[in-house]
Chains A and B, each alone.
Chain A
Amino acid sequence: MDATPDWGHATTLDDIRGSVAIAGIGETAYTKASGRTAREIGAEAAQRAIADCGLEPRDIDGITYNAAFADFDVAAFHEHFGTNHEIWSSPWGGGMSWAGTAPYLAAGAIARGDARHVLNVFPVAWATQRASMTGGPGEVHASQSLKQNLEVPFGWFPQPVYFATIMRRHMIEFGTTSEQFGAIAVAARWNANKNPDAIMHSKVMDLDDYAACAMLADPLRLFDSCLISDGGAAYVTTSLDRARDLPHPPVVVQGIGEGISDSGQHWSQQRAFTSTPQVFSAPPAFAMAELHPSDVNVLAVYDPFTIVTLMQIEDMGFCKKGEGGAFVEGDTLWWKSDGLPCNTHGGLLSHAYVLGIAHVVELVKQIRGTAPAQVSDCEVAVYGGYTGMHASTLILTVDR
């Protein structure tokens, strides 16, 4: 990796180390097609997160959600809870990369006095929508005109094909092997097998199963790919002082980073084709937290495909660029490992495809010590969010 890569940049963020904490989490069931709307799912996740904090709906005076998935916004909140109080809101929260930066928005709103308890919520009903052909991850991409005209007609679509091409280039540049990608898939499944909430909880998988599964877009196999799911989750951020008064031990936000690629939104044209903007996001987040990758007890990375896990592990500094393949071999990423337990809930690959919100909720459980696949002595947890040209890094710790 270049000493000073110039293909992207970090968002300038204020130092919010130790100022806010996550005080409540809520999750719906994670399922295949449920027939429910994202709005219903969002309401249930919100309700459970508020109850987990020991708060009432009227105590929530801030909401962050994602503008592109605005199924549970302020209007939906009031309609569901029968409230009408003033609520500060931002459409730059929710899932994906923004599941990692929503606490930063909350910290700002809390510091300004705009809100005390900020709910970040993200529901998705893509499994149900796919059945009715009214939406899903493929359609979101196909609706972009340059992809429609310069990628889709040539079979470079949808996401499995993009990431197969990135996998191939990583193999070319660094000698990464199919078995190493398989190790990531197997680790996610092993972790999911320990988590009763994971969709793939009862399905075991080993490297032989990985090698035998369907090749979708060589070199990318079925088990390199995430699920398609219905489900949602939410968490409530408040000031650290306030969190100390609430029922659960505070999960303290110590560092946040955001990285942006300057090569635009198309995977085909990314200058750093085998890297993610974690290159720009992780270093300032660790600097804010005054921690290092070697301090991390548990990691959760946005993992739509195994290659995205691999690239983020490299780009966040857990190993050198290009050495991720050797790093993830064996049991390194398993929840019980002495290595780097990663996606201990099962991730997008084997838990549910709810676009990162459940990753953050899992880390809160890990810091509380209540995760099904609990990492022992877990004090430092990190989320790596990814949305193509965006990446985020969220560093959480116990209340020290």
Chain B
Amino acid sequence: MAIKRADFPLPDLADALVGEFFAAAARSELCIPRCGLCDRWCWYPEPVCPVCSGKLAWTATSGRGRLFSWAMVRRAFIPAFADLVPFVTALVALEEDPAVRVVAFIVDVDPEALCAEMPVSVTFRPLRFPTVPDREVIVPMFTPSAS
């Protein structure tokens, strides 16, 4: 039950199910698993398509979506976030399939200006925590789309 990685909360790039998500981010691509048989987007990742058992392939998306919902976190619930609060963490519904909701930071925006269904676009930024020295991971974040 205990969390093994002492330097958590950066993602585990060696994780078999999600490692490719971060490898794609390092290439500035937002990739989501898609079934080669039935074409469904499958999120969260699974070993095979949960509907037809087809093989899943990490597939690039437009990186565009809409703001489904969000929270502005003011209390650092775990020490890693002590220097980051307040921040906006959100669910972004992707343009390709709004049922795919990516959890991400919303950056470069006044939190008061956020509104439901606001169009947002991916940007790739390094994620660092003071509690995890000398490491960073490139991750997808989102900003309001240019109108």
A143 touches B89 (CB 8 A): no
B71 touches A150 (CB 8 A): no
Question: Cβ of B12 < 8 Å from any Cβ of A?
Answer: yes
User: In the complex, how many angstroms separate the beta carbon of A176 from the nearest chain B beta carbon?
Assistant: 13
A268 partner residues in chain B, CB cutoff 8 A: 91, 101, 103
A165 touches B75 (CB 8 A): no
Which residue from B3, B15, B68, B89 sits with its C-beta under 8 Å from A154? B89
A138 partner residues in chain B, CB cutoff 8 A: 77-78
B17 touches A145 (CB 8 A): yes
B77 touches A160 (CB 8 A): yes
Question: Cβ of B60 < 8 Å from any Cβ of A?
Answer: no
Question: Cβ of A10 < 8 Å from any Cβ of B?
Answer: no
Kindly report which residue of chain A lies nearest to residue B21, judged by CB atoms: A150
A139 touches B1 (CB 8 A): yes
- Contact segment of A12-20, A210-218, A355-363: A210-218
A155 touches B44 (CB 8 A): no
- Pick from B91, B99, B139 the residue with the most CB of A within 10 Å: B91
Which residue from A143, A155, A166, A214 sits with its C-beta under 8 Å from B73? A155
A152 touches B9 (CB 8 A): yes
A269 touches B74 (CB 8 A): no
User: What number of A residues sit within 8 Å (CB to CB) of B?
Assistant: 40
A330 partner residues in chain B, CB cutoff 8 A: none
Contact with B along A254-288 (1 / 0, CB 8 A): 00000000001010110101000000000000000
Kindly report which residue of chain A lies nearest to residue B4, judged by CB atoms: A143
B70 touches A216 (CB 8 A): no
B1 touches A143 (CB 8 A): yes
Which residue from B75, B90, B91, B116 sits with its C-beta under 8 Å from A216? B75
B1 touches A168 (CB 8 A): no
A153 touches B139 (CB 8 A): yes
A214 partner residues in chain B, CB cutoff 8 A: 74-75
Contact with A along B110-137 (1 / 0, CB 8 A): 0100001000000000010000000001
A153 touches B9 (CB 8 A): yes
Question: Cβ of B58 < 8 Å from any Cβ of A?
Answer: no
Known: A146-B17, A156-B89, A266-B44. A151 touches B69 (CB 8 A): no
User: In the complex, how many angstroms separate the beta carbon of B80 from the nearest chain A beta carbon?
Assistant: 9
Question: Cβ of A220 < 8 Å from any Cβ of B?
Answer: yes
Known: A139-B3, A140-B1, A217-B71. A154 touches B12 (CB 8 A): no
B70 touches A168 (CB 8 A): yes
User: In the complex, how many angstroms separate the beta carbon of B78 from the nearest chain A beta carbon?
Assistant: 7
A149 touches B78 (CB 8 A): no
B69 touches A154 (CB 8 A): no
A158 touches B12 (CB 8 A): no
A156 touches B1 (CB 8 A): no
User: In the complex, how many angstroms separate the beta carbon of B133 from the nearest chain A beta carbon?
Assistant: 16
User: In the complex, how many angstroms separate the beta carbon of A201 from the nearest chain B beta carbon?
Assistant: 26
A218 touches B15 (CB 8 A): no
B103 partner residues in chain A, CB cutoff 8 A: 150-151, 154, 156, 268
- New A-B contacts (15) at CB < 8 Å, excluding given A150-B44, A152-B9: A146-B18, A149-B11, A149-B18, A149-B21, A152-B78, A153-B11, A154-B139, A155-B73, A155-B105, A156-B91, A157-B9, A157-B77, A164-B71, A218-B72, A264-B44
8 A-B contact pairs sorted by A residue (CB < 8 Å): A143-B1, A146-B44, A148-B12, A149-B17, A153-B10, A153-B137, A155-B81, A156-B103
Report, nearest first, the 10 A-B pairs whose CB atoms are least far apart: A164-B71, A169-B69, A218-B72, A155-B89, A172-B116, A149-B11, A217-B71, A216-B75, A156-B103, A149-B18
